[in-house]
């Protein structure tokens, strides 16, 4: 019946959630081994995840998780058939229909929140010391620059923004503002500086895009809101 279609749909969405969680663990990741010092072919206790693997993980998140939108969903003929179970104990969803935008945003935020965790950022701040001299590095700069470029593509190009992407952009902005306004003891000072740089660049994107007559009204309203919030955050920290 329709309830089985909804269960199958939920299983598919859950796979995206698992992928987001697994891929984000590579960012700032370190392998921990329990080899003893005298073991044959013994390995050192700690080894950072290579820069190549971290970049691949970030690219995966940008291309497969942050890119989720209405284009990723089945057509309306299927979506309107996703009826819930009505048996006792089958779950207490807040609404009968699936809230697709909220569901996708929750998956995206799980990856976003993990990558910007203070522990992960502190590790990225120090991880370059653990690479060999000739090895490529993946640190704070690569994370902040890569995520910003992957999330704000439409703004930098002056394109219309759908609701799924605007939700993600707002979540990213709020996360970056929280880092910028945070106590410097919680985050590395370079992470706070990069957060400010992100905000300034995004604000400039929005200021330029607001004058684009080809943008629809909802996109303009979104950009004006983003611009205003960033301006408030920047001014507050300067004047506090």
Q: Which residues contact 176 (CB under 8 A, 6 or more apart)?
A: 116, 195, 198, 199, 202
Does residue 47 contact residue 132 with C-beta atoms inside 8 Å?
Answer: no
pTM of the model: 0.86
Does residue 172 contact residue 154 with C-beta atoms inside 8 Å?
Answer: no
pLDDT at 70: 66
- For the cut 80, the answer to whether the pLDDT of residue 126 exceeds it is yes
Residues 64-96: tens digit of each pLDDT: 999 987 666 666 767 777 777 665 555 555 666
How far apart (Å, rounded) are the C-alpha atoms in residues 33 and 28? 16
Does residue 5 contact residue 81 with C-beta atoms inside 8 Å?
Answer: yes
Q: What is the DSSP letter of 64?
A: I
Specify the 3-state DSSP secondary structure of 67: coil
Furthest-apart CA atoms within the chain: distance in Å: 69
């Amino acid at each position: 019946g329709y309830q089985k279609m909804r269960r199958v749909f939920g299983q598919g969405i859950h796979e995206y959630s698992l992928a987001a969680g697994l891929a984000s663990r590579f960012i700032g990741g370190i392998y921990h081994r329990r080899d003893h010092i005298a073991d044959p072919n013994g390995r050192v206790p700690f080894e950072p995840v290579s820069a190549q693997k971290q970049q691949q993980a970030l690219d995966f998140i940008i291309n497969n998780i942050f890119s989720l939108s209405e284009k990723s969903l089945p057509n309306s003929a299927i979506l309107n058939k996703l009826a819930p179970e009505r048996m006792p104990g089958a779950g207490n969803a807040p609404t009968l229909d699936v809230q697709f935008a909220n569901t996708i945003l929750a998956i995206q935020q799980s990856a976003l929140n993990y990558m910007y965790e203070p522990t992960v950022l502190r590790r990225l701040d120090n991880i370059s010391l653990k690479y060999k001299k000739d090895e490529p590095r993946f640190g704070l700069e690569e994370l902040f620059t890569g995520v910003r470029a992957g999330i704000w593509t439409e703004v930098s190009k002056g394109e219309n923004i759908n609701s799924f992407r605007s939700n993600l952009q707002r979540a990213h902005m709020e996360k970056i503002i929280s880092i910028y306004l945070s106590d410097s003891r919680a985050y590395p000072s370079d992470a706070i500086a990069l957060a400010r740089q992100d905000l300034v660049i995004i604000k400039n994107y929005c200021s330029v895009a607001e004058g684009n007559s080809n943008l629809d009204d909802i996109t303009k309203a979104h950009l004006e809101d983003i611009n205003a919030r960033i301006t408030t955050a920047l001014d507050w920290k300067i004047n506090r």
